[in-house]
Chain A
Amino acid sequence: MSDSAISTTEHAPEHPPGLQHHFAEMEQQADSAKIGMWAFLVTEVLLFGGLFVGYGIMHARFTEAFASAHHHLDRVMGTLNTVILLTSSWTMVMAVSSARAGKQKNLVRYLTVTLLLAGAFLVVKYLEYSHKFHEGLLPGRFYTYAGPHLPEEFLFFSFYFMMTGLHGLHVLAGMIVISWLLRRAIRGDFSPSYYNPVDMGGLYWHLVDIIWIYLFPLIYLIS
């Protein structure tokens, strides 16, 4: 865009690749990006936090209905997805380390695995969802479960779908980000002096993981 054109004319001799014109040096750019990213992650924490607060209050009010409703969830599937997501966090942080160390091949490899694990997470989620749909365990007015249940059990599924659905959307967004990183990594955009996008994508992905770390026990393991 226009700003890169200007910056090349201004600092043509010693302009490092990836430095935007309004920053004086790479460190300033990286620090700014990190501060911005953490501020953004805080907004994500609060967005999900609001849902958690709503869930907590409704759970406290209808403890038995929620406890009874959560038996419809498959703990094995939930645990499996936890393992998948934790492992993908590990591959993501290894991708960042690879980028910092200039290990181009490792970077591409780790990003690919992360992307595949994210896809696997969504596949498991899809299996769980279709099972719930089949049984009529749907949110709100679409709850048509025929078996014996307490009247407030639908509330649990309202929250189940809103919380895991919002989280699933974040996984999807993460997959888009990782795909974009992968494309740039294959193109050879990143180097030990410029890997900021990988770092930022990693932070986002770990936050998605942290949210699941809380979602899993609160939804699948309550008593």
Chain B
Amino acid sequence: MADVASTSHPMAAGEPAATNYLKAERGFKSWIFTLDHKRIGVMYLWSVLLMFLLGGIFAMLVRLELLTPGKTIMEADTYNRMFTLHGAVMIFLFIIPAIPASLGNFVLPLMLGAKDVAFPRLNLASYWIYVIGAVFGVVAMVTGGVDTGWTFYTPYSTTSSTSVTTMTFAAFVLGFSSIFTGVNFIATIHRLRAPGMTWFKTPLFVWGIYATAIIQVLATPILGITLVLLMMERVFSVGIFDPRLGGDPVLFQHFFWFYSHPAVYIMILPGMAIISEIIPTFSRKNIFGYRAIAYSSVAIAFISFLVWGHHMFVSGQSELASAVFSFLTFLVAIPSGVKVFNWLATMYKGSIDLKAPMLYAIMFLMLFAIGGLTGLFLGALATDIHLHDTYFVVAHFHFVMVGGTVIAFIGGLHYWWPKMFGRMYSEKWARIAAVLIFIGFNVTFLPQFVLGTRGMPRRYYNYLDQFQPLHAFSTVGSWILGLGLFIVLGYLLASLRKRYDAPPNPWGGTTLEWTTSSPPIAHNFEHVPVVTREPYDHSPAPAPAPAGD
């Protein structure tokens, strides 16, 4: 394969089949009670993929309904439930745990040269709490659904007769799962780095996950208390958010967005973290501006707490607050821009290898750039008044969340799939699917920018005839996107039927996870690795096998 002279650790390439983590123990119980971070990561992976499928089905139904004005396939009430469930499932059950809890869980200790995360039992608890939360979510879906939108805005959410209480309880439970993951990763990154791995020798994925964990720990509790207050409001009419009782419904939005805006960065930071891994590997070059990217992750984490009010420009919040929030919002563009330019500089004069993960990384750069720039339109006070609650917003956050996070997630999945399961997938099909996904995504969401600027409001069931062609474009795009995603699922699953054929380092990566076998042994490394080099140093190794003990 391609790893000529690029890997610094030629050892650990022995025949792993007998002792790898997938085969170390057998039976159902060995999975559900496992403390191995790799197995927990794999369980998380299948769970979030299942939720992605569920949320995707809701999305396809929503798009199908919007194909024509008026009723296409469902009544307005059903439509309200569909878009709410699409949002709630995608946000709370898929995208927030998607990268940190599945790929992060698997890769993070490997990258650090550790045997496991700091608290393996807490890790397992996090997974099962996630499952419990998902069960409550499904219960809410089958007992009437939810029609408030995933944001649960008061006062409607305190009076809606749908299963809001169950769904908020599900989100509350899921918050614990997220907090436990964050606490675990913070402790792991602080104390379980391999000998010699200083902070600035950790891969950038670690920095991204660390910044994510900070947000998970600092923001999620506020979501917890918000949802408790909402449940209390519904059950006891405590009055804090109910204007009839003297409460303040806008206060709910402050509480909600204090979590949910940073949560957007819980979603995008791990995506950026993956891109920081893929680009140097497939450019065969050291990363440009390592420290700038590392610091910008942490900067994004902290600035993300200062900007939540930009969701509330038309809510009746004070003009002073709106102006301050608008200003602070623009600050986020700085570290985001720092990252993008450093990635571009890394690719410049690199030896670029357009394998599937790199295709997704380039896709990320394009789509995230559009998503990020349109975010500035919405952060500007004056334009937001016009664009607020239109399809422009829908298109913007789908460019960031799908074009950014989901594309990065799929890229990361392709990047680490050989490491996780020991098999290579079909590169040919991977490229076909990548092209379909790129086309499908743009056909779906680019027309929504136009719809939004022309005044199509979001979440509406019916619309004027003049919007129909663009809606039709968007719906057809969703079919192409769906087809591309199904092809991905198909060839990934097909690869699992093969024998182990992945070498330890199929891409010529330089970080520690590529120094162990594919799939890794149960304790990750034969010997504790000792780190002496920078994480993305592609120059030939100075001495053979520094991985002694």
The number of residues on chain B lying at the interface, defined by a beta carbon within 8 Å of a beta carbon of chain A, is 46
A141 on interface, CB distance cutoff 8 Å: yes
Enumerate chain B residues within 8 angstroms of A31, measured Cβ to Cβ. Answer: 190-191
Residue of B nearest to A20 (CB): B120
A162 on interface, CB distance cutoff 8 Å: yes
- Bound Cα distance A142, B232 (Å): 12
A130 on interface, CB distance cutoff 8 Å: no
Q: Are A140 and B236 in contact (CB under 8 A)?
A: yes
By secondary structure, the A interface counts as helix
- Complex partner residue of A158 from B190, B221, B240, CB under 8 angstroms: B240
Q: Are B225 and A3 in contact (CB under 8 A)?
A: no
- Complex partner residue of A50 from B221, B247, B528, CB under 8 angstroms: B221
Q: Are A40 and B239 in contact (CB under 8 A)?
A: no
Residue of A nearest to B238 (CB): A158
- Complex partner residue of A54 from B192, B224, B251, CB under 8 angstroms: B251
Give the Cβ gap from A170 to chain B, nearest Cβ, in Å: 13
Segment at the interface with A among B128-136, B176-184, B377-385, B422-430: B176-184
- Complex partner residue of A36 from B118, B220, B229, B528, CB under 8 angstroms: B118
Give the Cβ gap from A43 to chain B, nearest Cβ, in Å: 4
Enumerate chain B residues within 8 angstroms of A40, measured Cβ to Cβ. Answer: 179, 183
- Tier of interface size on chain A: 35 or more
- Bound Cα distance A154, B233 (Å): 13
Most chain A beta-carbon neighbours within 10 Å: one of B33, B116, B226, B239? B239
Q: Give the residues from 35 to 59 in chain A that come closer than 8 angstroms, CB to CB, to chain B.
A: 35-36, 39-40, 42-51, 54, 57-58
Most chain B beta-carbon neighbours within 10 Å: one of A22, A28, A141, A166? A22
- Complex partner residue of A43 from B220, B232, B233, B240, CB under 8 angstroms: B220
By secondary structure, the B interface counts as helix
A102 on interface, CB distance cutoff 8 Å: no
Enumerate chain B residues within 8 angstroms of A109, measured Cβ to Cβ. Answer: none
Q: Are B238 and A162 in contact (CB under 8 A)?
A: yes
Q: Are A62 and B246 in contact (CB under 8 A)?
A: yes
- Bound Cα distance A199, B175 (Å): 26
Enumerate chain B residues within 8 angstroms of A152, measured Cβ to Cβ. Answer: 239, 246
Enumerate chain B residues within 8 angstroms of A32, measured Cβ to Cβ. Answer: 118-119, 187-188, 190-192
Question: What would be 25 A-B contacts, judged by CB atoms less than 8 Å apart?
Answer: A3-B35, A6-B523, A22-B117, A22-B192, A36-B118, A36-B184, A36-B187, A39-B183, A39-B186, A43-B221, A45-B221, A46-B218, A46-B221, A47-B222, A47-B225, A51-B229, A54-B240, A54-B251, A58-B246, A58-B247, A139-B238, A151-B246, A152-B246, A159-B238, A162-B238
Which A residues contact B (CB, under 8 angstroms)? 1-3, 6, 20-24, 28, 31-33, 35-36, 39-40, 42-51, 54, 57-58, 61-62, 139-142, 151-152, 154-155, 158-159, 162, 166
Known: A50-B221, A51-B225, A61-B248. 13 other contacts (CB 8 A): A6-B523, A22-B120, A32-B190, A33-B187, A39-B187, A43-B179, A46-B221, A47-B221, A47-B222, A140-B233, A140-B239, A162-B228, A162-B229
